[in-house]
Amino acid sequence: MNERSIFLDALDRTDPAARRAYLDAACGADAELRARVDSLLAAHDRAGGFLETPAAPPQSVLSKPSSAVTVVAAAPASRSSPKVRVTDSSQRAFSDETTALLRRRLVWVATVTVCPMILALFPTLHLAFLDLRIACLVVCLTCVGLLHALRTPTRRQLRLLELFMFGSVIVQMTVMPAALMLERARANDFPTVIMDGYFIQGVWVLVIISYGMLIPNTWQRALVLLLPAGLAPYASTYLLGLYEPKVREAYDALHHGTPFPVVLVAVAEALFYSHILNVSRWELYRAKKFGQYRLQEKLGSGGMGEVYRAEHELLKRSCAIKLIRPGIDADPAAIARFEQEVRATAQLTHWNTVEVYDYGRTDQGVFYYVMELLRGQNLDELVRRSGPLPPGRVVYLLAQVCAALREAHGQGLIHRDIKPANIFAATRGGAFDVAKLLDFGLVSHTTGGTSDGEKGVISGSPAYMAPEQGTPGAPTDARTDLYALGGVGYFLLTGRSPFDGATIFDQIAAHRHAAIVPPSQRIPGVPADLEAVLLRCLAKSPADRYPDAGSLRKALSACRCAAEWDAEKAAAWWAAHETEPEEPAPAPTPGPATMHREPSVATVKVRF
């Protein structure tokens, strides 16, 4: 095991004696390795924990996101006392982002520069500057090739390419007009000499302004580069005047002895642009950071917030972050209640429940929590892309969800929003069709067997809402989740929810009063024993349903089709479908097993 793995495993052992025993076994006789790991652990403790702590107490997490630090082990001064340097990981990550942006900008600049250079070659093949043009073009093309060839270029390498690219443009656009100035000055064409001088200044102004706006820089570095650049055209004109007195004579004859320092003004503007853009990027970067997590791309949105792909800055581990912003549907009281539920959910450890890593609240009032990033498809996507599932696979997935619900219900947590979109068929650790129960956003506690949800409020997904859940003030319990899970099974078998309705209120009313159409009447081939299990889950009265998730799991496992799907078949299916598109596929062609789009599968909240 390497130093990092031992360090992370040691963090999981909070008991000092257990940690020492683990380190003794993991490090063995390697005293230097043991010293480095001990130093990392000590730095972690001094920094207040630079790794996230799942389900941390609210007073330590929710008040303010912890400051992010990176621990870098330096070469030890001795075998017993290695040095450890603690640096700000925010600055480091911002620097990495700047490097990536610099590479993209240089590719763009190179493309914009090379194309005109190539086009300008053909009508001027007879001119004396052909060698210079070709040399500058070769430099730019070499820079383009290196930008594409270097997979992970360093900042130093990119800065060198930056200088070569801009330098080649400046050389070409300065040397050529300067040579023309000498030629025309000797021919006493003084007005054209002055125009050539202005052209040189214009080229420098264009390059300086473009550099300030396009290339990410601090204003200090930009000043070091641009100030000499701003003086260069005046210095070149002065040197031309020393080399050829007629150049100086041209300026004196037309009273252009002291030209306006337009290039230096351009330097000032470029410094301003560089500073403003750099500060804006930093502020945007900070706005997209949540604790030690960096937002990347938006994955979707739900009833109470948005979900983004993110990365832990230190571990470089991908994860998903859900943001819940205060608003019309998320008042401060609801947010406070949600924080409490997330803390409770974070205690769930079952393999089939999505793992919550961390949570917190920003200074702007944005509450967020961090969970594992899953690879696969939620069941809604799975059915809409591939059609109704075979009965054995339905049992295989539902039984896993039952295991997750058994733990949650045992801790007094009722999910209240079970639907196909909140169950994920994931690939984890080499296993396939691993059911993951997601989004405990409407979770409620049970007191005396019934939930303590908000009074006078209906919350949930109408397509899968139990009759009691659609009745304001009616008590709900674990059997409410089993009803919804039966509805999910119905959808997996038939491709449609148990009840139709033009509006959400029609759907809620149908759950309470309408007779359900058995799955076998929707699609042929549904096993009778599995149908009986699902219809018992969908009973109107909670007393007629299975009493708990464990009982439902036993009933599912007893179905004869349960043996028709296993881990090997799941692996084979995913191997055959691993090239599925990321976006939802179009609905299948209508037929006996056609998909049916419900009017509402979204999570809603209705106050009475």
The structure tokens 């001064």 sit at 77
pLDDT of 537: 95
pLDDT of 527: 93
Share of the chain above pLDDT 90, in %: 21
Q: Does one domain contain both 128 and 249?
A: yes
Q: Assign 447 a pLDDT band (cuts: 50, 70, 90).
A: low
pLDDT of 540: 92
User: Is the per-residue pLDDT at 54 higher than 60?
Assistant: no
* pLDDT tens profile 394-421: 999 999 999 999 999 998 888 888 999 9
Q: Are 70 and 314 in contact (CB under 8 A)?
A: yes
CATH number of the domain where residue 304 is located: 3.30.200.20
User: Is the per-residue pLDDT at 584 higher than 70?
Assistant: no
Closest CA to 520 of 532, 512, 538: 532
* pLDDT tens profile 389-401: 999 999 999 999 9
Q: Which residues of 341-361 are buried (b: 16+ CB within 10 A; e: fewer)?
A: bbbbbbebebebbbbbbbbbb
pLDDT of 576: 87
Q: Are 400 and 435 in contact (CB under 8 A)?
A: yes
Domain end (from 264, 286, 308) = 286
Question: Looking at residues 183-191, what average pLDDT do you find?
Answer: 83
Instruction: Label residue 104 exposed, middle or buried (CB < 10 Å: 0-12, 13-18, 19+).
Output: exposed
Q: Does one domain contain both 126 and 166?
A: yes
Q: Assign 57 a pLDDT band (cuts: 50, 70, 90).
A: very low
Mean pLDDT taken over the chain: 77
Q: Does one domain contain both 349 and 363?
A: yes
Q: Does one domain contain both 100 and 217?
A: yes
Segments forming the whole domain that contains residue 216: 91-286
Q: Does one domain contain both 318 and 464?
A: no
* pLDDT tens profile 64-115: 333 333 333 333 444 443 433 333 445 555 677 778 888 888 888 888 877 7
Q: Are 73 and 40 in contact (CB under 8 A)?
A: yes
Domain end (from 286, 304, 330) = 286
Share of the chain above pLDDT 70, in %: 74
Q: Does one domain contain both 127 and 275?
A: yes
Given the residues 196, 358, 417, 481, select the one marked as catalytic: 417
Q: Does one domain contain both 338 and 223?
A: no
Q: Are 74 and 86 in contact (CB under 8 A)?
A: no
Q: Which of 171-175, 189-193, 338-342 has the lowest mean pLDDT?
A: 338-342
Question: Looking at residues 210-234, what average pLDDT do you find?
Answer: 87
pLDDT of 247: 79
pLDDT of 147: 86
Q: Does one domain contain both 254 and 297?
A: no
Q: Which of 103-112, 364-373, 422-431, 463-472 has the lowest mean pLDDT?
A: 364-373
User: Is the per-residue pLDDT at 283 higher than 50?
Assistant: yes
pLDDT of 425: 93
User: Is the per-residue pLDDT at 58 higher than 60?
Assistant: no
Q: Give the count of alpha carbons within 13 A of 280, CB side only.
A: 8
User: Is the per-residue pLDDT at 515 higher than 60?
Assistant: yes
Q: What do you get for the CA distance between the two ends of the chain, in Å? A: 59
Residue 417 annotated to the active site: yes
Nearest-10 Cα torsion for 397, 483, 420, 303: -140
Q: Does one domain contain both 498 and 508?
A: yes
Q: Assign 588 a pLDDT band (cuts: 50, 70, 90).
A: very low
Domain end (from 89, 110, 137) = 89
Domain count, the chain: 4
Q: Does one domain contain both 175 and 222?
A: yes
pLDDT of 66: 38
The structure tokens 């992370």 sit at 8
Q: Does one domain contain both 77 and 113?
A: no
Query: Is the torsion defined by CA of 396, 461, 326, 450 positive or negative?
Result: negative
pLDDT of 86: 37
Provide the greatest CA pair distance for the chain: 107
Q: Assign 476 a pLDDT band (cuts: 50, 70, 90).
A: confident
Q: Assign 570 a pLDDT band (cuts: 50, 70, 90).
A: very high
DSSP state string for 58-74: HHHHTSSPPPPEEEEE-
Q: Does one domain contain both 150 and 39?
A: no
* pLDDT tens profile 346-356: 888 898 998 88
pLDDT of 241: 82
